[in-house]
């Protein structure tokens, strides 16, 4: 028997989509001045809307810090709810007029070398989707998933948060790359890759510190450096021109690559569920 009772929406004076949108604007910017730089009238309006929201919800949403404004636990919870609501409304509006936007967060090298070259293999999973990709570190991917800023994420296993659902796609291993025919070259390393710090300490002293793996790859292409890179970079540095050498010190740095998502996202957004399945197949194949 079908229930005739539905969930009642809260009727709170001061709660509106405009105020919720302003709340997210300030939350993402980290303060009123940053949300509306050089616009004192708009800043005053945002401040008033935030006070009205806090009055309606009977909760403090922000705390002021020396650097701006930070979300309270209640504010962080509201931000997640509002982002999910906003995405749902966007999907409803897009249902009749075009593709649904789905966002994927991953490291720059994973996007450049594993995902983007294989978009054609995703086939019909992209038929009704406007895909948005963003380069984020693994901890950034976790935060973006938890805060409803991305729908799917590719990240190292050591960074996965417990409340996210995830599946292992394969193992990311590392090696030394250098131009073929060259002798011993100075070492280029990705300084921001925390998982490699201890392993790199067993190698010679680095002469070049780069922010990302693609930057290390560019240094290798110059012919002046040996670079530490994931072995899936082989497709970018063909064997005819560059040699790939394993090193025992890098074996301990191997880490699982995970595909992660929020369960609620897949329940509400069938396009994300289809793309998740397609990415699982394509990236697993690429890592074999």
pLDDT value, residue 245: 94
Asked whether this chain's domains 99-169+255-287 and 174-251 adopt the same fold, the reply is yes
pLDDT of residue 253: 86
pTM above 0.85, yes or no: no
User: pLDDT value at position 128?
Assistant: 81
Residue 6: the pLDDT is 44
Residues of the chain with pLDDT under 70: 1-14, 87, 91-98, 158-161, 194-195, 197
CATH number of 17-81: 1.10.10.10
Give the tens place of pLDDT for each residue, 14-72. Answer: 678 888 888 888 988 898 988 989 898 898 989 988 888 888 888 899 998 887 899 99
Domain ranges of the chain: 17-81, 99-169+255-287, 174-251
Domain 99-169+255-287 fold: D-Maltodextrin-Binding Protein; domain 2 (3.40.190)
Domain covering 174-251 assigned CATH 3.40.190.10 in the classification: yes
DSSP result, the chain: ------PPPP--TT--HHHHHHHHHHHHHTSHHHHSTT-HHHHHHHHHHHHHHHHHHTS--EEEETTEEEE-HHHHHHHHHHHHHHHHHHHHHHTTTSPEEEEEEE-HHHIIIIIGGGGGGGGGGGTTEEEEEEE--HHHHHHHHHTTS-SEEEEEGGG--TTSEEEEEEEE-EEEEEETT-----EEEETT-GGGHHHHTTSPPEEEEESSHHHHHHHHHTTS-EEEEEGGGGGTS-TTTEEEE--HHHHTT-EEEEEEE-HHHHHH-HHHHHHHHHHHHHHHHHH-
């Amino acid at each position: 028997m079908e229930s005739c009772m539905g969930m009642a929406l809260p009727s709170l004076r001061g709660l509106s989509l405009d105020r919720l949108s302003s709340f997210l604007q300030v939350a993402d910017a980290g303060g009123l001045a940053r949300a509306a730089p050089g616009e004192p009238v708009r800043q005053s309006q945002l401040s008033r809307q935030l006070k009205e929201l806090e009055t309606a919800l009977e909760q403090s949403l922000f705390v002021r810090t020396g650097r701006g404004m930070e979300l309270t636990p209640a504010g962080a919870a509201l931000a997640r709810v509002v982002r999910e609501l906003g995405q749902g409304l966007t999907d409803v509006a897009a249902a009749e007029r075009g593709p649904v936007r789905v966002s994927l967060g991953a490291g720059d090298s994973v996007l450049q070398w594993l995902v983007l070259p294989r978009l054609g293999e995703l086939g019909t999973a992209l038929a009704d989707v406007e895909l948005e990709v963003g380069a984020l570190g693994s901890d950034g991917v976790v935060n973006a998933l938890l805060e409803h800023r991305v729908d799917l994420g590719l990240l190292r296993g050591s960074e996965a948060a417990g409340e996210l659902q995830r599946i292992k796609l394969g193992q990311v291993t590392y090696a030394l790359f250098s131009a073929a025919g060259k002798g011993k070259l100075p070492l280029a390393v990705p300084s921001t890759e925390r998982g490699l710090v201890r392993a790199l300490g067993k190698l010679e002293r680095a002469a070049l510190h780069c922010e990302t793996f693609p930057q290390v790859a560019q240094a290798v292409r110059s012919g002046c450096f040996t670079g530490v890179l994931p072995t899936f970079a082989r497709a970018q540095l063909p064997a005819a021109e560059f040699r790939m050498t394993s090193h025992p010190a890098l074996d301990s740095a191997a880490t699982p690559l995970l595909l992660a998502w929020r369960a609620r996202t897949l329940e509400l957004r069938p396009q994300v569920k289809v793309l998740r399945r397609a990415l699982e197949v394509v990236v697993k194949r690429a890592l074999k």
